[in-house]
Structure 1
Amino acid sequence: MSTQSSDVVLPASLLDTDLYKFTMQQAVLHHFPGVEGTYRFTHRDKDVFFTRECFERFERSASQFGKLQLKPEEREWLSKACPYLTPKYLDYLSSYRFKPEQLRLRFEPIPEDADKDARREPSTRGHIKIDAVGPWQETILWEVPLMACLSEIYFTTVDKDWSYDGQEEQAYEKAKTLLEAGCTFSEFGTRRRRSYHTQDLIMKAILRAQSDVPNAPGKVAGTSNMHFAMKYNVVPVGTIAHEWFMGVGALKGYEHANGMALKLWEEVYPNVLQIALTDTFSTEAFYKDFLADPHYARQWTGLRQDSGDPFVFAPRAKEIYQQLGVDHTSKTIIFSDALNVEKALRLKKQCDEIGFRCAFGIGTSLSNDFSRVSTGGKEKSRALNMVIKLSSVDGKPTVKISDDITKGVDGWQNTGDPTTVRLVKGIFGIPITDKDEVIH
């Protein structure tokens, strides 16, 4: 993050976000221009609190996002690095400005600190509520830089029990291990990075590791962060996020939402960015549409695993491809859910045995893997466990039903309106549980 003062934290650039925000923005402009889209923030760990000081600093920072704009040299780089972004879209992006008035920011003190908050004490503990409301094509860009901003402010305002000591060396060793084991991986850490400086250190470290072991069987495929892709001359990587499937389901109907989402995406990107995310309404629901139209299994280059047991994913995907008569050894699986080095090495071994190509998108394990200084490094410094999800389009609630059946104690395998979750579960034959009553 670039800081205009010690108080305000802003992205380094309009490009300081992930590629899929731009590719999805272009797809939204193509298929759903003008449709209203609302995003909502959730912090999953209820035992972690923000402070009023943190919130007010975040509020001041968010109010300055409108200063960001695409620079001519950035547009020129985009046109070359991402030829699938059309000149018409790049014209739109050049004129794009964040509109802070689209944000609804609230601080809710915990009951124990209500008296302190009445006195507006900076140390008041509480929870932060964020909604972004406006045209989907505009609000879609808030998610990633807003979370990166909040994380950096939290770790310089509330939790300061950490340091940068050893971070670059730690990332270097992780990258070297992955490269020597034959893993292809990308840096996916923008949303929950500890700071801009951390992500910058990480990029330097993993690229240095690749340079130091030039004959290693693995490779650094790139980064999801467009600013760092440009800065370090590496490939920007990424395709689709859950919000695309969520929005299409709400707007076009859920019964064949996965197939429709792939169809509409392919109309915008007929020969590129064709890695299908499977778990928006559960992976088995995705496979129903996948099996119904073999075109997508043949045409699309692979699948992305982002929730559930990753070691179940490849064997099941092989079964699906075999049912369709498609050679699974020509396909790639991208793993991107809570990865660390050890898990990536095990998944690589499994995919090698099964015959899949595989690659890894590694986020928090690179960009927010810190220890507490006060414990001499013996205790981890927890990253913020947060998301910003699409909550409605055109006034219709959106939902996500992941493959994690025990992701937290409050039904976090589901996101969205409880009534709509139960409706969608009924459509796909997914058991309804008591946890479906407590969805946020």
Structure 2
Amino acid sequence: MVVDQDKLVYPTSLLDTDLYKFTMQQAVLQHFPGVEGTYKFTHRDKNVYFTRECFDHFKRSVALFSNVALTKDERAWLEQRCSYFTPQYLDYLEAYRFKPEQVHIDFVPVPEDVEKNARDDPTARGRLHIDAVGPWEETILWEVPLMACLSEIYFTTADTDWDYEGQAEAAYEKAVTLLKAGCVFSEFGTRRRRSFRTQRIVMDAILKAAKDHPGSGGVNGTSNMYYAKEFDVPPVGTIAHEWYMGVGAMRGYEHANAIALELWEKTYPNVLQIALTDTFSTEAFYKDFVANPHFAQKWTGLRQDSGDPYVFAPRAKEIYEQLGVDYKKKVIIFSDALNVEKALKLKKQCDELGFKCSFGIGTSLSNDFRKKSSGGKEKSKALNMVIKLSSVDGKPTVKISDEITKNTGDPDTVRLVKKVFQIPITDQDRTV
């Protein structure tokens, strides 16, 4: 992405996104072509507001996304690095253009700033309503660059109390600590990065650390396709929650996990087989996993992304042993709000169990800043935001996280899915 003289932020490459957006796009094109998909934005921090200036810059920036296209050089790199992409899909991707008319962005001022907003005062505070509506195979690519764009604009307009001082050194030291502990990890920070520049600083630092400290640990690569190409490292990623969410809405929830894995295998019969477990709760996933031992036997491993991470590996060990599968040949990828301390503890636990593990580390690398005004003592918080698939083919989608307070989607459908999987309905579920 670039920032121009008007503080507009927009991508310069279609590759400036995460690998799993492309892998899922190819699967959607194969199994659900032409189905409408809607994505909605949620900002979880109720005490942090956007400004009218931020909104104006963001809206103008999104209009420039249509200029982005896959280059011949980028296609050649995809052909070489990602052999699981078919020529037909790469033809589609080469012809793909973002359609800004699919994205609707509204600014809703806080009550005390309504008059300021009416005067187009750039300091007026408010919330953003964002959605993207169109064919699922098209709207699927909006999520990551929209979030990266919004984060960078916010931190160049609404919150500028920070700088880049010490970023390279901090990322290098984090990487050295992980590497010395034998951790294998990947950079997963695109969506909530402070800026495009930050992610480059981080990638350069962690790869320098890996070169300086060869040993049992290692850097697997990055989820960001642009930086995978630039730094000549593997692009990393498989499936996100939206795949399971969309399949559940389209094919029914009772066996949504098994159906999602079956369809994925048809697109990727021998690669990209790391199963994400927590879309409708991990225990619901294990019901289909146990009923279909093929998945446990064939798939490389599991990804943990919500709930208590310290119960995940022991429970996965139980499931694999129940199915007569050698869990020591499988891998767990941890990716839920990781920092160095948490990764070290999980690595120690997995070593004791005999489980192979790796870590996808995002915000802790790509958006870990301090406020300049505090002399580096106070944290400059990243935006706590998501863009989730909210419907397919007019049917609402939901996510029932292992974190009980993080249900996502239409409340009636949340309650319905919880009943399907015999998950307790909470007071929060009854009041929304």
Q: TM-score range by the shorter chain?
A: over 0.9
- C-alpha deviation, 1:437, in angstroms: 4.4
Taking the TM superposition and a 5 Å limit, the aligned residue runs for 1:404-423 are 404-405=403-404, 411=405, 413-423=406-416
Amino acid corresponding to residue 433 of structure 1 in structure 2: T
- C-alpha deviation, 1:433, in angstroms: 1.2
Taking the TM superposition and a 5 Å limit, the aligned residue runs for 1:271-286 are 271-286=270-285
| Partner Cα distance (2:154, 2:4) in 1 | 17
Alignment match, 1:55: 55
RMSD across aligned C-alpha pairs, in angstroms? 0.8
User: Structure 1: any 5+ residue segments left out of the alignment?
Assistant: 406-410
Alignment match, 2:232: 233
- C-alpha deviation, 1:11, in angstroms: 1.5
Amino acid corresponding to residue 427 of structure 2 in structure 1: D
| Partner Cα distance (2:430, 2:141) in 1 | 30
| Partner Cα distance (1:171, 1:96) in 2 | 35
Report the 3-state secondary structure (helix = DSSP H, G, I; strand = E; otherwise coil) of the residue aligned with 1:64: helix
| Partner Cα distance (1:35, 1:179) in 2 | 44
| Partner Cα distance (2:370, 2:428) in 1 | 33
Alignment match, 1:408: none
| Partner Cα distance (1:194, 1:167) in 2 | 11
Aligned residues: 432
Deviations 1:190-232 (A, max 9, x none): 0000000000000000010011112x21000000000000000
| Partner Cα distance (1:80, 1:8) in 2 | 33
Alignment match, 1:261: 260
User: Is contact 1:194-1:367 (8 Å) kept?
Assistant: yes
Amino acid corresponding to residue 338 of structure 1 in structure 2: A
Report the 3-state secondary structure (helix = DSSP H, G, I; strand = E; otherwise coil) of the residue aligned with 1:312: helix
| Partner Cα distance (1:417, 1:38) in 2 | 13
Taking the TM superposition and a 5 Å limit, the aligned residue runs for 1:6-405 are 6-214=6-214, 216-405=215-404
| Partner Cα distance (1:11, 1:303) in 2 | 32
Deviations 1:227-273 (A, max 9, x none): 00000000000000000000000000000000000000000000000
User: Is contact 1:418-1:436 (8 Å) kept?
Assistant: yes
Deviations 1:164-202 (A, max 9, x none): 000000000000111111000000000000000000000
- C-alpha deviation, 1:368, in angstroms: 0.2
Alignment match, 1:429: 422
Amino acid corresponding to residue 24 of structure 1 in structure 2: M
Distance change (3 Å), C-alpha of 1:168 and 1:438:
farther
| Partner Cα distance (2:160, 2:374) in 1 | 13
| Partner Cα distance (2:3, 2:381) in 1 | 24
Amino acid corresponding to residue 35 of structure 1 in structure 2: V
Distance change (3 Å), C-alpha of 1:135 and 1:438:
farther
Report the 3-state secondary structure (helix = DSSP H, G, I; strand = E; otherwise coil) of the residue aligned with 1:98: coil
Deviations 1:95-116 (A, max 9, x none): 0000000011100000111111
Distance change (3 Å), C-alpha of 1:141 and 1:437:
farther
| Partner Cα distance (1:354, 1:225) in 2 | 31
- C-alpha deviation, 1:5, in angstroms: 3.7
| Partner Cα distance (1:20, 1:422) in 2 | 28
Amino acid corresponding to residue 343 of structure 1 in structure 2: K
- C-alpha deviation, 1:358, in angstroms: 0.2
| Partner Cα distance (2:61, 2:5) in 1 | 10
User: Structure 2: any 5+ residue segments left out of the alignment?
Assistant: none
Distance change (3 Å), C-alpha of 1:48 and 1:24:
same
Amino acid corresponding to residue 399 of structure 2 in structure 1: K
- C-alpha deviation, 1:3, in angstroms: 3.0
User: Is contact 1:308-1:403 (8 Å) kept?
Assistant: yes
- C-alpha deviation, 1:6, in angstroms: 3.5
Amino acid corresponding to residue 421 of structure 1 in structure 2: V
TM-score (norm: length of structure 2): 0.99
| Partner Cα distance (2:121, 2:302) in 1 | 49
Deviations 1:83-103 (A, max 9, x none): 001100000000000000001
Report the 3-state secondary structure (helix = DSSP H, G, I; strand = E; otherwise coil) of the residue aligned with 1:260: helix
| Partner Cα distance (1:167, 1:247) in 2 | 38
| Partner Cα distance (2:9, 2:72) in 1 | 23
User: Is contact 2:7-2:156 (8 Å) kept?
Assistant: no
User: Is contact 1:42-1:386 (8 Å) kept?
Assistant: yes
| Partner Cα distance (1:95, 1:146) in 2 | 20
Amino acid corresponding to residue 247 of structure 1 in structure 2: G
Amino acid corresponding to residue 293 of structure 1 in structure 2: N
| Partner Cα distance (2:101, 2:6) in 1 | 23
- C-alpha deviation, 1:294, in angstroms: 0.2
Amino acid corresponding to residue 152 of structure 1 in structure 2: E
- C-alpha deviation, 1:438, in angstroms: 5.7
| Partner Cα distance (2:115, 2:36) in 1 | 38
| Partner Cα distance (2:431, 2:375) in 1 | 39
User: Is contact 1:418-1:438 (8 Å) kept?
Assistant: no
| Partner Cα distance (1:205, 1:197) in 2 | 12
| Partner Cα distance (2:381, 2:157) in 1 | 15
| Partner Cα distance (1:34, 1:134) in 2 | 9
TM-score (norm: length of structure 1): 0.97
